Amino acid sequence: MPRKVDCPMTKRADLAQEMLAHREPVATLAAKYDLSRTAAYKWKRRFLEHGRDGMQDQSRRPQHSPNQTAPRVELAVCQLRERHPTWGPEKIHHLLAQEELPGLPSLRTVGRILQRQGLTRPWPPAQTEYRRFQWKGPNELWQLDFKARIYLSLNPLLRAFPMTLEDDYSRFALSLTANADHRFPGLWQVLWDTMGEYGMPGVILTDNDTVFRGHRGGLTQFTAHLLRLGIRHISGRPYHPQTQGKVERLHGTIQSDVLQGRQFGSLQELQAAFDDFRDLYNHLRPHQALDLQVPAQRYQPGSRPRPEALPPVEYPPGAELRKVWESGCIQVRGCRLHVGEGIAGQRVRLHDRDPLLAVEYAGHIIRQIRWDELRKGEWV
């Protein structure tokens, strides 16, 4: 049994000295020190060349690495990451490949460069998988939403309500505006201007905010205006933001790429930052859900141009009409039937579809109720 030696350098030096003394066969000495014969000869050679200092472990890094990434390429990867801190290796590699950077390494190597330079972030916690829904073409569905309010400067009275409008198919950010409030007149003006630039969609998806769906149901101004344009309005299930997953994901990107760690003093300053981001998001930033295409490559304006003005609501001669009160109700057989505050002051048409009463607005049936449920003096 070999004697116990705590220091590896001492153990190797003793082995080399015993081999030089030629008292025992090399195979015996190698077994004595629990080494292979090849290792024993290596330490003997090191001892002869460098003495005891040669008994240290040496780096196994090769002196020449012909396949090593060039410093200029590594610098380009790091500079692109610093300009876009939220971009991962996939986006960085894709963009550098489009720029035809000479010597660009593999995607995995780009990831290693970011990790080595301390430019990576920990992976977010795993989320429950969900089904992805995507419409078949641009302008079939637009997603519209307000992001959480932003306080400007340090004055709590100065606030902005970012309004986002995104095409479902292409993820193209149609509009990103810093609104002073989230009431109907401001949001409709933004939507009206956007439709003037890109054409009209088939459907608009929103959440159940009161500006979109009201307090008591029935038509809001928002839904009524869309009906007059022939646009269908749908909403996600309450407390279920996954329905609007694309626009919610866009909100997360806006938070990290535009708002995080920054303070804006005015709506104009915030809007300038939004404009810069929207241009980059649509035309430069590769989107992983689009196979690393940019949204502008998938989007094209719609074929339904917006009219110059909101079309009037017209009914055929002889139709049975009712005027909507300020409360959003009409009166039928002494019963107050609620149809929506959004069309107060306008007229709706009644259809007798025994045993049902149907109420029409702008060519769309907005409510149906059984005739026998209409009781005088009640509000339904």
Q: Where are the domains of the chain?
A: 8-55, 71-116, 141-298, 321-373
* CATH superfamily assigned to domain 141-298: Ribonuclease H-like superfamily/Ribonuclease H (3.30.420.10)
In terms of Cα–Cα distance, which of 152, 161, 154, 155 is closest to 180?
A: 161
Structure tokens at 372: 């026998």
Distance CA 171, CA 177 (A): 16
Residue 265: count of CB within 10 angstroms of its CB:
12
- Would you list the DSSP string of 159-174? EEEEEEEEETTT--EE
In angstroms, the CA 174 to CA 145 distance is 12
In whole angstroms, give the CA distance from residue 13 to residue 348: 102
Can you tell me which residue has the tokens 């003005």?
309
Q: Which two tokens stand for residue 167?
A: 């095409």
| pTM for the model | 0.72
Residue ranges of E strands in the chain: 141-146, 150-151, 159-167, 173-179, 203-206, 232-235, 321-323, 329-332, 335-338, 347-353, 356-361, 364-370
For residue 249, give both structure tokens.
């994901």
First to last CA, the chain: 99
Per-residue tens of pLDDT for the chain, all 380 residues = 444 445 788 888 888 888 888 778 888 888 888 888 888 888 888 888 777 777 787 766 666 666 677 777 777 878 777 778 777 888 877 887 777 778 777 777 777 777 777 767 665 555 544 455 666 799 999 999 999 889 888 677 789 999 999 999 999 999 999 999 999 999 999 999 999 999 999 999 998 889 998 887 889 999 999 999 999 999 877 655 666 778 888 999 999 999 988 889 889 999 999 999 999 999 988 887 778 889 999 999 999 999 999 999 999 999 999 999 999 999 998 899 999 999 999 999 999 998 999 999 999 999 999 998 888 777 87
Tokens representing residue 125 in the block: 């916690």
Q: Is 61 helix (H, G, I), strand (E, B) or coil?
A: coil
Residue 33 Cα to chain centre, angstroms: 61
CA neighbours closer than 13 Å in the CB half-sphere of residue 260: 10
Q: Does domain 71-116 have CATH number 1.10.10?
A: yes
The bridge status of strand 203-206 relative to strand 141-146 is parallel
The amino acid occupying position 101 is L
Widest Cα–Cα separation across the chain: 124
Six-digit token string for 8: 């590896």
* Amino acid at residue number 243: T
